Amino acid sequence: RSKFFEAAMKKGWAEGESREILLTKESPETVRAYLNLVYSNLLLVNEQDGKCRWMMLAEIYVLAEFLQDVEAKNSIVCELY
């Protein structure tokens, strides 16, 4: 689903050799919410750490954009409206 993961896992890339991709800029909560969306098709986002719901959705959208996951981005936009 993610064009980023598809490309990064090819043997010519370091990530493809190690089978490990580090997402150091994203918070664990954002990655967790993204993975939940990918595997269960549910966006479970609550206010936490002073962040409102739409800010959390925006962070997940930015991650989905980085990962080139159009389906996740569409789900997030639908959730916003």
Question: What's the pLDDT tens digit per position in 15-65?
Answer: 555 667 777 788 989 999 999 999 999 888 877 666 788 899 999 999 999
Using DSSP's 3-state secondary structure scheme, residue 36 falls into helix
**Assigned domain for 49 exists:** yes
Distance CA 56, CA 64 (A): 12
**Assigned domain for 37 exists:** yes
pLDDT of residue 49: 65
**Assigned domain for 42 exists:** yes
- Tally the domains of the chain: 1
CB distance 45 to 56 below 8 Å: yes
Whether the pTM exceeds 0.95: the reply is no
Domain that holds residue 58: 26-80
**Assigned domain for 61 exists:** yes
**Assigned domain for 16 exists:** no
